[in-house]
Amino acid sequence: MTTPEHLLTDRAKCVDCSGVRRAFQLGATLDDPINLSIGQPDFEVPEPIRRAAIEAIEQGRNGYTLTGGADDLRAAVSAHLRKDPGWRIGEGDLELLITSGTSGGLFLAFLVLCEPGCEAIVPDPYFVIYPALGPMTGATIVTCDTYPDFRMTAERVEPLITERTRVVLVNSPANPTGVVLRDDELRDLAELCQSRGIMLISDEIYDLFTYSNGLGDAGTCPSPARWTENMLLLRGFGKTYGCTGWRMGYAAGPSWLISEMAKFQQYSFVCAPSMAQAGLVGAFDIDMSDVVNAFERRRDLVKETFAGIANVSDCAGAFYGFVEVPEHLGITGTEFCEHAIKHNVVVIPGDVFSDRDTHIRISFACPDEKLKVGLEILADMMLPAREPTLGS
For residue range 220-234, what is the model confidence (pLDDT) as tens digits? 799 999 999 999 999
Is residue 256 domain-resident? yes
Residue 26 has pLDDT above 80, yes or no: no
**The residue type at 359:** H
Number of structural domains (the chain) is 2
At residue 11 the predicted structure's pLDDT band, cuts being 50, 70 and 90, is confident
> In terms of domains, do 75 and 207 share one?
yes
The model's pLDDT over 270-308, given as tens digits with 9 standing for 90+, comes to 999 999 999 999 999 999 999 999 999 999 999 999 999
Residue-by-residue DSSP string for 46-109: PHHHHHHHHHHHHTT--S---TT--HHHHHHHHHHHHHTT---TTSTTEEEEEESHHHHHHHHH
- What are the CB-based long-range contacts (under 8 Å, 24+) for 286-289? 286/46, 286/48, 286/49, 286/241, 288/46, 288/208, 288/219, 288/240, 288/241, 289/218, 289/219
CATH of the domain at 34: 3.90.1150.10
Q: Tell me, yes or no, whether 224 and 314 share the same domain.
A: no
- Facing residues of 165 across strands? 119
Q: Is 80 part of a structural domain of the chain?
A: yes
Give the pLDDT of residue 392. 45
The stretch 313-333 carries a mean pLDDT of 96
Residue 86 and residue 220 share a domain: yes
Note down the domain range covering 295.
4-45+288-382
Spatial contact of 283 and 76, defined as CB atoms under 8 Å apart: yes
H or E segment and range at residue 382: helix 368-382
Sign of torsion over alpha carbons 101, 106, 107, 108: positive
pLDDT at 19 over 80: no
Mean pLDDT within 310-325: 96
Please classify residue 250 by burial: count the beta carbons closer than 10 Å to its beta carbon, then call 0-12 exposed, 13-18 middle and 19+ buried. Answer: buried
Q: Is residue 392 part of a domain?
A: no
Task: Answer whether residue 73 is part of any domain.
Answer: yes
Domain C-terminal end among 250, 285, 320: 285
391 in any annotated domain: no
Q: Are residues 99 and 187 in the same domain?
A: yes
Domain boundary (254, 285, 316) is at 285
Q: Is residue 390 part of a domain?
A: no
Q: Angle at the Cα of 336 (from 330 to 337), degrees rounded to 5? A: 165
List Cβ neighbours of 256 (8 Å cut-off, separation of 6 or more): 93
CB neighbours of 325 closer than 8 A, spacing ≥ 6?
Answer: 310, 331, 332, 333, 336, 358, 359, 360, 382
Distance of alpha carbon 105 from alpha carbon 98, whole angstroms: 8
Specify if 28 maps to a domain: yes
The beta strands (E) that lie in the chain are given as 34-35, 94-99, 119-124, 140-145, 165-171, 199-203, 231-236, 249-254, 320-324, 345-346, 348-349, 359-363
How sure is the predictor about 110, in pLDDT bands with cuts at 50, 70 and 90? Answer: very high
Kindly state whether residues 275 and 299 are assigned to the same domain: no
- pLDDT for residue 5: 74
Give the domain-ending residue among 285, 318, 340: 285
Query: Same domain, yes or no, for 55 and 191?
Result: yes
Please report, for the domain that includes residue 202, its CATH number. 3.40.640.10
Note whether residue 79 is domain-resident. Answer: yes
Are 279 and 292 within one domain?
no
Torsion of CA 252, 254, 260, 261, to 10 degrees: -20
Same domain, 207 and 231: yes
Indicate if 36 and 89 belong to the same structural domain.
Answer: no
| Positive or negative: CA dihedral 366, 367, 368, 369 | negative
Q: Are residues 35 and 53 in the same domain?
A: no
Average pLDDT of the segment spanning 354-375? 96
Q: Are residues 33 and 161 in the same domain?
A: no
> pLDDT above 90 covers what percent of the chain?
85
What's the gap between Cα 50 and its chain centre? Answer: 24
The answer on pLDDT for 63 being more than 60 is yes
63 and 205 share a domain?
Answer: yes
* CB proximity list for 287: less than 8 A, separation 6 or greater: none
